[in-house]
Amino acid sequence: MSFTIEFDAKNNILRGTLKGQVTDAMLLDCYAVAAQCAALHPPCRGIWDFSAVTEFKVSNATIKQAALRRPIISSGYMRVIVASHDFLFGMMRMLQLLSEEARPELVVVRTMEEAYQWLRVDAPDFAPVA
């Protein structure tokens, strides 16, 4: 599993991209790193991209744990999860439902194009976050 965190200063979007196999520990580690990066660019909108994930070995308990954590993106700012595979889409919808009080601006979509539509972005310009 690998992940990258990027920021688009022009459109004020932090994007986390996960690839390959994702486990409970890896997902929670990514969450912690993304939270640190978001603190460097407050307040901003966010995208979590799961479209390149090949195996998702994350338990329902970890999804519930993530839902209870403090949101990475500040309240009032849109965040989008991209999950193209059916199983991942269902897991992310569970996260959305479990955390809808803390994250009312969270939506789950199937493609990056849909994410950009939700965020009203035409030409994103992402650069890696150091």
The CA-based angle 21-28-113, given to 5 degrees, is 65
Domain assignments of the chain as residue spans, ordered by start: 2-128
Rounded CA-CA distance 1/127 in Å is: 20
What is the reported pLDDT for 1? 65
Name the CATH superfamily housing domain 2-128: STAS domain (3.30.750.24)
Supply the pTM of this predicted model. 0.93
Question: Stretch 47-69: mean pLDDT, rounded?
Answer: 94
The H or E element that residue 30 is part of is helix 24-40
Model confidence band, residue 59 (pLDDT cutoffs 50, 70, 90): very high
